């Protein structure tokens, strides 16, 4: 199984939440739903959360140690898969999908024997559809876009880019249906975008390349791309990301 983890922020019940999840496992859900039908959790009350109810730097080492102990116990008892972690409102919750639960209490005792100073609860529920993973941990299209934006910005920054300098940022989208293509082009041009070229992806689906002068700073590019997702959806298309050149001070 591929181990491919992502970390992002979202809003849960009106409060900020840090979500870490195993994205690689998404490619094997159909098979795992049959063999791992139960979602299980371990929830610990943070002792020193920051002002947003998230994990503080001071407490981070101990929580990461707890996470490692839980993962080691999961491997030892061979009962399930670790799929993600949620930190919000002063709590950290570790989520697993398990094959069986008859030795769950042994798993907990082994994993948490060094963490008696934490207030911890645990439990498990049937979830054959993997709704906790699909609807709670797994990001929406817009959340995925923020994740990708952050990665590109980080890459540019490592290359010495000044993210506050405007430059041509190129975007792509692909049509689910070309019936609204002309209207989509008009909508993009009204937003100041210049149509660059018609494009086709590896599956033969047609699309457009277009650009505009903008700043690729984190907040700015999030606003731009989320607006483009909305425009694309309105005209039966799917936004497919952006790229730009490195511009140094």
| Domains in the chain: boundaries | 5-137, 141-244
Residue 225 has pLDDT above 90, yes or no: yes
Residue 236 has pLDDT above 60, yes or no: yes
pLDDT at 116: 87
Identify the bridge partners of residue 32 per DSSP, sorted by sequence position.
Answer: none
Rounded CA-CA distance 74/21 in Å is 16
Residue 51 has pLDDT above 70, yes or no: yes
Question: Which pTM was predicted?
Answer: 0.86
> What is the rounded average pLDDT of the residues 219-245?
97
pLDDT at 118: 94
Take residue 149 and report the two structure tokens written for it: 């934006």
Rounded CA-CA distance 84/95 in Å is 5
pLDDT at 220: 97
Cα atoms in the 13 Å half-sphere on the side-chain side of 32? 22
- Indicate the pLDDT class of residue 35, thresholds 50, 70 and 90: very high
pLDDT in tens, 56-103: 999 999 999 999 999 999 999 989 999 999 999 999 999 999 999 999
Rounded CA-CA distance 178/229 in Å is 16
pLDDT in tens, 121-175: 999 999 999 999 999 999 999 999 999 999 999 999 999 999 999 999 999 999 9
* Full 3-state SS string of the chain: CCCCEEEEEEEECCEEEEEEEECHHHHHHHHHHHHCCEEEEEEEECCCCCCCCCCCCCCHHHHHHHHHHHHHHHHHHCCEEEEEEEEECCEEEEEEEECCCCCHHHHHHHHCCCCCCCCEEEEEEECCCCHHHHHHHCCCHHHHHHHHHHHHHHHHHHCCECCCCCEEEEEEEEECCHHHHHHHHHHHHHCCCEEEEEEECCCCCEEEEEEEEECCCHHHHHHHHHHHHHHHHHCCEEEEEEEECCCEC
Residue 1 has pLDDT above 60, yes or no: no
Query: Do the first three CATH levels of 5-137 and 141-244 match, i.e. the same topology?
Result: yes
Task: Provide, rounded to the nearest whole percent, the portion of the chain with pLDDT above 90.
Answer: 91
> What is the rounded average pLDDT of the residues 104-113?
92
- Indicate the pLDDT class of residue 2, thresholds 50, 70 and 90: low
141-244 folds as Alpha-Beta Plaits (3.30.70)
> What is the rounded average pLDDT of the residues 219-229?
97
CA angle 47, 49, 50 (to 5 degrees): 150
CA 219 to chain centre: 17
**Cα–Cα nearest to 174, from 208, 225, 140, 198:** 208
Residue 3 has pLDDT above 80, yes or no: no
The CATH code belonging to domain 5-137 is: 3.30.70
Rounded CA-CA distance 94/112 in Å is 13
Phi and psi of 245, rounded to 5°? Answer: -90, 160
Take residue 196 and report the two structure tokens written for it: 């660059």
């Amino acid at each position: 199984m591929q181990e491919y983890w992502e970390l992002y922020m979202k809003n849960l019940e009106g409060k900020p939440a840090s979500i870490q999840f195993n994205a690689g496992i998404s490619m094997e859900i159909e098979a795992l739903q049959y063999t791992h039908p139960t979602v299980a959790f371990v929830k610990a009350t943070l002792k020193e959360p920051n002002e947003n109810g998230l994990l503080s730097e001071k407490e981070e080492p101990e929580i990461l140690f707890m996470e490692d102990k839980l993962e080691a116990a999961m491997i030892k008892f061979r009962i399930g898969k670790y799929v993600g972690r949620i930190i919000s409102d002063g709590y950290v919750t570790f989520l697993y999908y398990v094959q069986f639960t008859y030795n769950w209490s042994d798993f907990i005792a082994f994993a948490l024997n060094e963490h008696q100073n934490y207030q911890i609860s645990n439990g498990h529920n049937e979830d054959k559809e993997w709704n906790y993973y699909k609807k709670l941990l797994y990001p929406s299209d817009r959340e995925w876009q923020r994740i990708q934006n952050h990665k590109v910005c980080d890459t540019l920054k490592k290359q010495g880019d000044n993210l506050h300098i405007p430059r041509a940022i190129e975007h792509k989208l692909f049509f689910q249906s070309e019936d609204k293509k002309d209207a989509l082009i008009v909508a993009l041009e009204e937003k100041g975008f210049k149509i660059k070229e018609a494009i086709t992806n590896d599956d033969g689906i047609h699309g457009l390349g277009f650009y505009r002068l903008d700043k690729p700073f984190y907040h700015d590019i999030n606003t731009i791309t989320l607006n483009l997702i909305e425009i694309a959806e309105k005209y039966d298309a799917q936004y497919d990301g952006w790229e730009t050149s490195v511009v140094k001070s």
